[in-house]
Structure 1
Amino acid sequence: MLQEFKKHIEVTFPFLSQKKIILATSGGLDSMVMAHLFAKLDYNFAIAHCNFQLRGIESFEDQKFVEDFAQQLAKPVFVTQFDTLAFASDYKLSVQVAARELRYNWFYELLETEHYDYILTAHHSDDNLETFLINLTRGTGLEGLVGIPESTEKLLRPLLPFSRLEIKEFAEENHIKWREDSSNASTKYIRNKIRHELVPILKEINPKFLEVFQKTQSYLQQAQEMVEDASIMIYQQVAEEIGDEVHVNLDELKRLPNYQSYLYQWFNEYGFTAWNDIYDLVNGQSGKQVLAAHFRLIKDRNTLILCPNQPTDAESFYLIEETQPNVNLPLKLTFGDVSHLSSVSNNTIFVDKQKLQFPLTLRKWKEGDVFYPFGMDGKSKKISKFFKDEKLSLPEKENVWLLCSNNQIVWIVGKRADDRFKIENTTTQIFKITLNE
């Protein structure tokens, strides 16, 4: 196995020989074999061990075992202890998910603070098969069937081509010691149930099942790459990135024979789960939206908009004193007296200062707001009707601020001034207000 492993590393991860790496080492069979392999190949590595404190004294015996092993190799060792049960309870996670989140967050922190290049884990081909079967039982798209990737940014999995049997045989032949995790024997966890009950049946049906599975997964990975290539091509044709938003042309999208698949491919990574609602959104009423934890999809006429969820402003309004020359939050506004009018634009207005009552107020718009649009001879208009006429999308509406004087709207900032504060022949003090973008 050593020569096969050496060849695999040289072909797949040729850069590792010049890098500082951290081996995630639990003390179990797989990680101990990985550490011995890299030690025999004389790589520059350190060892990292997580004590999740889930198995009482066993957890601390594992920690001591790994620390002693690192000392024997004269390799740096990093150890941390987690109160995993408390973390899982606080964040309402399963113990397995909590442990995974704690582990990987710490690994990436180690890379940064200790100045290492990569973290390596000991996932092997049987882990890959178990993950495939878990995803299959839960329902998944193609990305859930292509298996555990060999590399993800700074995370590498060098043992993926090797089976648990190969790893165990190597350990026994080389008299490698390891710790058995007693929880691995329990079938109360779905992975263990699959490992101990389902996989043996599959291997009994076909002794070469793992080899056949690896070929099948290779074909799935190729198919996934084709899907991704097609997805990118179509995305470039029907979508436009505007700031932190993605605008999808629905007229163009609906010409595609299977547009739902493209939507899933594009937006799955943003945390959406209500896919039937998203598919219905395409033909739904303008203004409807589907929410994820941090993003949302909004139907806006013939456009589907992906954007971040609207943050809650810490302050509902901001006061602006008469002597205040500028405001930097939430917008950048400047104020000042001038002797004459200059060019007027959406970003610059001139008002009669004597009509203002300070402090001015800067706030978000709300339903029922009414203003008197400049140039409409004193006719009032609802802000919502103005937005509709301007064809503003929901995110654009949410980002609108109103500058007010004594509850009267002076300016829909960057959009339209109010007629009640306009400059007249009797005006003696001209006040200039500018939005700086």
Structure 2
Amino acid sequence: MSFRFAVIGDTHFCLAAGRDTRIADSFAVEPDYRRYAGMAENLERLGAMIAAERCELLISTGDLIEGGGDDAGEERVALEVLGKAAPAFFRAPGTHDGGLARAGRAYCAFDRGGCRFILLDYTRWNAEQREFLREALASAAGAERIFVFGHPPLFLWGRHFFDSPRFREEVGALLHRYRADFYFCGHTHNQAVSRHGELIQVAGSAVGYADGETVPLERYHALPPQDAEHCFYWGIAEDNAPGFVVVEVEEERTVLRWRSFHNSAWLELPARRAKPSVIEPPVFPEPGEFRREDLNQVRCGWLNTFSANKGENGSLLTLNGVELGPIPPNLCYAGRRYVMLPERALYTLDVENVLEIRFPRSPVFAAGSFSLELPLLDGRILRSAPSPELFVCGECPDFRFAAERARRVSPGERVTLRLQFPSMR
């Protein structure tokens, strides 16, 4: 007998009504709701796709709504849509969720299909909830599977300094101790499936551009190293291929199916806690081949940046001797930040390019995964590999996860990176 459920996260549902959605500033610093309002129909379409799966329950890993507008009204619409997608709907609160998710105790545990389900409230993580999780895991010794749901990842494959250290460390230790099977999460808006010891982590996102290509996570992020304990199966970059996951448990076998509007993926475990016997990642676009002569097609381009700065900026980016300006301001290590290349910089582009960075004067910052992106006149896009270097300055809890792999730098320090176009012949 099989049991099937679905997981969706980070829908960030919001409507244009009551919001100024006109473009008023650089895309890099625009508020997110101006993009998300245009993605509102994703929720209805994804809800219909989930309903067609005939799951017994649907679980959200948080950020059901964007917030900042008519929170109650938009939450009501979102709950109505997802409430029709499965006979039962549960949610683990995220940082953007409205009052309904936070009324009373928002964490819980229950059993379905012989499995234990545990939903955590990341927004109110404390010692009481930690003890609840311990008891819920300890009492699940006889369950066929243990599925845990929270908002932030326990392991970051992209957005390296977007950390939640206390939650990650305390929850991760308990899941390891009591041998949980799966941990489902969101928060980073990139999607990734990975294995950590016996635990499978599934990070999902339902916010993004519905009809774009499925962009691999490694296009914009330098992935952390893998080892015997940490294995990366596949990942999708932020704002791409909004989707959901269906999990089917049938005796010893567990099947995880990821679905978006135009793509799908598959992971199958033949037995509990076994390594996957089937791994079918999403279909990603071929990188293509480029020649050095293609640089003559370039008429514009930009430098992608990931950074977080907790104080004064004063930074400077210089490409091949041409000043680009400061690292874009950002309070957290999020995506969608870039610097446009001035025309003088376009003339200097080559297979290998030199990026000089003068870091902020702030005592606390992090930066990494710099890459070049160049549209060509023939419609293709030439992209450099993201720089593998990560940099960190000062002490910040958000940075703890990646800090041990990063190079320690000082306020105002200068470094030099090389950005290469690896597919160019």
Task: Please tell me whether Structure 1 or Structure 2 has the larger radius of gyration of its CA atoms.
Answer: 1
Between 1 and 2, higher relative CO (CA 8 Å, sep ≥ 6) is seen in 2
TM-score relative to the length of structure 2: 0.26
- Higher helix share goes to which structure? 1
- Higher strand share goes to which structure? 2
TM-score relative to the length of structure 1: 0.26
